[in-house]
A and B are shown apart, each in its own frame.
Chain A
């Protein structure tokens, strides 16, 4: 996904003089050709994440469309107040593009993990949050984000589904169970493990790479009395939203995602998926227990 982001962004910088890229050393080497071609619109501020967002805010105030990129934990967690004030409170937007989603950086440890990034955007509100599940979903999302000035967070991951599912931001039904039966909403790269987990179960599985704004219309149309969320970030991030949409109907909600407790172990992302119950076997166990 990062390669796709680099290629697409380099092309956008060449095609659209309104775009600018702000980096804090991360990925600077792969953007070196773009920086050479557009030295005044590709800005590497060094390892200064607060400044990176502040600069993006200033660029946006002059009418440019900044794309800002780093590891999720540095881009979002560290610079949270800058996102809130230098963008949101100024009434300007930017396209923030992260890598290192949740436990992608598990072998580097907690310092490089950010499972709480989407929850942080929820505390500000107004952000479009996109979580592609495949590298081929990235270019269209990025291109669609550049012509306007709204705030967009694009969360890239090394976790990927086998197939790409296009640019539609609505819930896409990939597996249809009995109408009114259990609905499972899988976000981004959680789709494949979810589909594997529910083999043989009578459930509907819907996919989205755009959890904010959540497709509430699609949710209302598809949901029966049992809804299961499978999200690649903190468990429960979307539960208040889903409960709000379904407040007028009796329902039960199971929210699966990354656990809140720090595991304090290294290992691979696959290990962490297993420890958080987000591999196919773990999901199967949680979903079966909920529905039984």
Chain B
């Protein structure tokens, strides 16, 4: 694998431009950029060298559509060669419009069909706990429209009822859910009513995202609702 030639957030824009052919999901792809960047730059304890270490933190991209920002961050952080970005979804490409964990180093789950990541995240958190691996956290990124899928609500209720402590969900809220998640507390309230702790932040404010992502309590699952501009 070639060493990364770029190193920071300012380089992501150029990398995203190399990811052509993903027009359909471009708004979605860019909505996640800041959250994914803060995760990999300041929160996750995982490196290209530790992608198979049982003690690593896990990041599960449940919102698997529009993974351009994810791929760009993985390239900047050295998980994948930047050259991979130039042939998105091409016949020889390892990077598709939805990521495949068996094709991309550092990708924890294959995703794309909505509503699968949080269940897998719950199972991952339980599997680590059953093996006495208590340090890693499991972060799952969903979209606010993805939250419509009932499978998520099975996972939210169960994780809350069992006080699953090492799980953090992040709901990227670009107000794209058809019927919205209105009402007092919005998205966060769907989790807190089930026993989660929650924070709602500006999804472009790196310091606020960082603070929210690290505000979990020792004995409850935690959710961060990251609000960005509505999908155009």
Contacts and interface: CB of A to CB of B under 8 A. Distances in A.
Contacts of B44: none
A61 to B, nearest CB: 6
A254 interface: no
Interface in B122-164: 122-131, 133, 150-151, 154-155, 157-158, 161
Q: Is the interface of B mostly helix, strand, loop or mixed?
A: helix
A227 to B, nearest CB: 38
Contact of B119 (A53, A62, A63, A64): A53
Contacts of B109: 61, 90
Contacts of A45: 154, 158
Contact of B120 (A40, A58, A63, A91): A58
Interface in A46-61: 46, 48, 50-51, 53-61
Q: Please indicate which of the listed interface residues A41, A63, A90 has the most CB atoms of chain B within 10 Å of its own CB.
A: A90
Contact of A62 (B113, B127, B151): B127
B191 to A, nearest CB: 15
B120 A57 contact: yes
Interface in B67-113: 100-102, 108-110, 113
B110 A48 contact: no
Contacts, number: 99
Contacts of B154: 45, 48, 50-51
B151 A51 contact: yes
A90 B130 contact: no
A90 B101 contact: yes
A23 B164 CA distance: 17
A228 interface: no
A81 interface: yes
A105 to B, nearest CB: 23
Interface in A147-186: none
B230 interface: no
A43 to B, nearest CB: 6
Nearest to B124: A58
A89 interface: yes
B129 A40 contact: yes
B110 A61 contact: no
B127 A61 contact: yes
B101 A59 contact: no
A81 B127 CA distance: 22
A34 B101 CA distance: 33
A20 B101 contact: no
Contacts of B119: 50-51, 53-55, 57-58, 82, 86
Nearest to A39: B130
A31 to B, nearest CB: 16
Contacts of B129: 40
B164 to A, nearest CB: 11
Contacts of A60: 123, 127
A85 interface: yes
Interface string A55-91: 1111111111010000000000000011001100111
Nearest to B120: A58
A165 B71 CA distance: 53
Contacts of A57: 119-120, 123
B185 interface: no
Given A51-B158, A90-B101, A91-B101, A59 B151 contact: no
A86 B130 contact: no
A51 B116 CA distance: 9
Given A85-B113, A86-B116, A86-B120, A58 B131 contact: no
B223 to A, nearest CB: 17
Contacts of B158: 45-46, 48, 51
Contacts of A61: 108-109, 120, 123-124, 127
Interface of A: 20, 40-41, 43, 45-46, 48, 50-51, 53-64, 66, 81-82, 85-86, 89-91
13 contacts: A50-B119, A51-B119, A54-B116, A55-B119, A55-B122, A55-B126, A57-B123, A59-B126, A61-B108, A62-B130, A64-B130, A89-B110, A90-B120
Q: Which 3 A-B pairs have the closest CB atoms?
A: A58-B123, A54-B119, A62-B127
Given A48-B154, A55-B126, A62-B124, 9 more contacts: A20-B127, A48-B157, A50-B151, A54-B118, A58-B122, A63-B131, A81-B113, A82-B151, A86-B119
